[in-house]
Structure 1
């Protein structure tokens, strides 16, 4: 591919990308807009590919950030359970909430994806067959759905470490306080809430 052809192909790719963004707009994973985009790309691939197809897959797109809603509600429920003196259930709740957050966001394990609605998505695939003997396979891939923007790094980069540290600290403290409360109540027979209010 000469320089002129490469430049033309690059400009075409940018033009198509801009057209899709302007005409279709945001394209969350597995949304109707992302489905339309996949079909448009498959159609465009037909101009220079020997074969094209849509690959169907099922995933749980809301699981990626869904824990940001689920975990705080578990935390709030656990705090209420402490005031109702259900200390063990509260400690278990804090532990489960932290396991969910760690699995979904830090390790991207998808262990708790089943808690969220499954949705169907499409990959647009184009294949260019070799003209000579096949020696190696080249795969070019990308995503046509809209990626979520983590704005903290752009808007307030200096506070990013503080936010991350505060999240980690709250996770550690919630589990520690939860199980120390259980230990204090069952091993020493002391009501932690009574001690707090008496001290106040």
Structure 2
């Protein structure tokens, strides 16, 4: 409540990291703070970039169609890398902010045979009003919408340059302007300077990781090492989790990673599939079974969201995300100014906390058979 919103790279995010480090230092055997550069507005810069490039391509289509084709091909290449490889070129030009990861380690009593990593993120997001709109269920496909608009303009430009289907060109002439309207509408809804408090996304997960650190520091496992990782700059293209993975890959490649993301305000789900990524079915089934054993309702989810767990599953590390979803399959109040602490239910946090404790106990019990 005192710090408020925590945009990646902001003073408030740094204060949050400092606070978390002071708390976790009391309940861990080692705490590490890793700093890195990020672009706090990468998503918004990207939408602005697409809008500007589309306007330039449309102008080229009217004045000199070959120039339109060149611009469109450049943007399509960018979008292909973004959609299929989660790679943002724009980050290499505007990464002037500084964020940080906080990593706490809790040693087991004996030899380390297993590692379990609980993750959440410290930063909050800019408000995106599209999530408070009837288009909310389709918001995860906006990159594909941009790609479709550029491909349509490319085809029409090719028709005009090479005089193909010339009888259609006159009928299709207004289509690029319709696409421009769509792009400008999405830009107007998505790009602003208003900041979300980020109570569900992400303080709900952070609070549970602190509770888990305290529990396992005073109740150490026999052979399971516990990591508590609070990533910075998740809303800035998952920069924190990517930096962590790159630096500690050899150390964590055989670990199990449980990401806690927006865990209050709806039914609890365990992600088996996210956007172009499959998570560990074994881990998901273990969690669902444990939840059932302690009478907590949890469901398997196959969605098209993007969470930090994707970064690890993509590298074949066992991972999943625990989160709550609304009827549209999106975390409640995500990226909205209404994402406030008053809407967080303690029961939801307790349920996730209990599931995580039971999972660690199960994994540690299995180590005794090794």
TM-score of the two chains, using structure 1 as the length reference: 0.68
Conserved in 1, the CA contact under 8 Å of 2:69 and 2:154? Answer: yes
Partner of 2:87: 109
1:156 aligned to 2:134? Answer: yes
Deviation at 1:166, TM superposition (A): 5.6
With over 3 angstroms needed to count, the CA separation of the structure-2 counterparts of 1:128 and 1:149, relative to structure 1, is same
Identify which of 8, 26, 35 aligns with 1:56: 35
1:171 aligned to 2:150? Answer: yes
Using the alignment, how far apart are the partners of 1:175 and 1:98 within structure 2?
Answer: 10
Partner of 2:351: none
- Superposed counterparts of 1:86-105, under 5 Å: 87-104=65-82
Conserved in 1, the CA contact under 8 Å of 2:60 and 2:66? Answer: no
Deviation at 1:151, TM superposition (A): 4.8
The count of aligned residue pairs is: 166
With over 3 angstroms needed to count, the CA separation of the structure-2 counterparts of 1:71 and 1:166, relative to structure 1, is closer
Partner of 2:44: 65
Q: Which has the larger radius of gyration?
A: 1
Using the alignment, how far apart are the partners of 1:127 and 1:82 within structure 2?
Answer: 57
Greater shift after overlay, 41-50 or 125-134?
125-134
1:143 aligned to 2:160? Answer: no
Deviation at 1:154, TM superposition (A): 4.7
Deviation at 1:34, TM superposition (A): 1.0
Conserved in 2, the CA contact under 8 Å of 1:153 and 1:160? Answer: no
Conserved in 1, the CA contact under 8 Å of 2:46 and 2:90? Answer: no
Query: Please, which runs of 5 or more residues in structure 1 have no aligned partner?
Result: 1-21
Structure with bigger RCO (C-alpha 8 Å, 6+ apart): 1
Deviation at 1:126, TM superposition (A): 1.3
Identify which of 137, 159, 165 aligns with 1:180: 159
Higher helix fraction (1 or 2):
1
Deviation at 1:49, TM superposition (A): 1.0
With over 3 angstroms needed to count, the CA separation of the structure-2 counterparts of 1:118 and 1:84, relative to structure 1, is same
Using the alignment, how far apart are the partners of 1:180 and 1:116 within structure 2?
Answer: 36
SS of 2:115's partner is coil
Deviation at 1:90, TM superposition (A): 1.3
The runs of 4+ residues in structure 1 deviating greater than 4 Å are: 148-151, 163-168
Greater shift after overlay, 124-133 or 42-51?
124-133
Q: For each residue in 1:99-130, what CA deviation from the matched residue of structure 2 results, as whole angstroms up to 9, or x when unmatched?
A: 32343356422244223234321111211122
SS of 1:23's partner is coil
1:44 aligned to 2:23? Answer: yes
Query: Please, which runs of 5 or more residues in structure 2 have no aligned partner?
Result: 174-370
TM-score of the two chains, using structure 2 as the length reference: 0.39
Identify which of 13, 29, 43 aligns with 2:8: 29
SS of 2:120's partner is coil
Using the alignment, how far apart are the partners of 1:176 and 1:118 within structure 2?
Answer: 37
Using the alignment, how far apart are the partners of 1:113 and 1:180 within structure 2?
Answer: 34
Deviation at 1:70, TM superposition (A): 0.7
Conserved in 1, the CA contact under 8 Å of 2:68 and 2:154? Answer: no
